[in-house]
């Protein structure tokens, strides 16, 4: 059975790139293009992991993380906060929002793939 990952990412190019990398590792990927859609998909769809871009057009990704963790409580999937900006403050804020991990977007995807393997 494939492990299900929800990717909340507003950039179509980034979503395609990340999805292909994770699908090649054997994961089933669903994509949401904004925070509101991502939150709705996360509730009740049995995802094993949610990857959330911090910068989204409608709702900050950290707020989406907070809502997912709050709403689903004990049944909450693991969450990885993702950003294209290297900033230690974002890593701390992600942890405070309930994220289980924090990764920076890179072209090789190695850190994200390793984080996914760690949490699934």
Q: Which residues pair with 29 in a beta bridge?
A: 5
| Residue 1 binned pLDDT confidence (cut-offs 50, 70, 90) | confident
**pLDDT given for residue 117 in this prediction:** 96
Q: Which two tokens stand for residue 23?
A: 């699908």
pLDDT tens-digit readout, 43-94: 878 899 999 999 999 999 999 999 999 998 888 899 999 988 776 677 888 9
CATH topology of domain 4-119: Rossmann fold (3.40.50)
User: For all residues of the chain together, what is the average pLDDT?
Assistant: 92
pLDDT for residue 88: 65
Structural domain boundaries in the chain = 4-119
């Amino acid at each position: 059975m494939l492990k299900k990952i929800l990717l909340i990412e507003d950039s179509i190019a980034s979503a395609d790139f990340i999805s292909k990398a994770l699908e090649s590792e054997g994961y089933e990927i669903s994509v949401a293009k904004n925070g509101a859609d991502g939150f709705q998909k996360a509730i009740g769809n049995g995802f094993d992991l949610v990857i959330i871009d911090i910068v989204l057009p409608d709702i900050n990704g950290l707020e989406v993380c907070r809502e997912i963790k709050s709403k689903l409580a004990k049944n909450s999937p693991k969450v990885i906060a993702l950003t294209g900006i290297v900033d230690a403050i974002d890593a701390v804020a992600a942890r405070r929002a309930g994220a289980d991990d924090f990764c920076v977007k890179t072209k090789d995807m190695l850190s994200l793939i390793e984080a996914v393997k760690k949490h699934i």
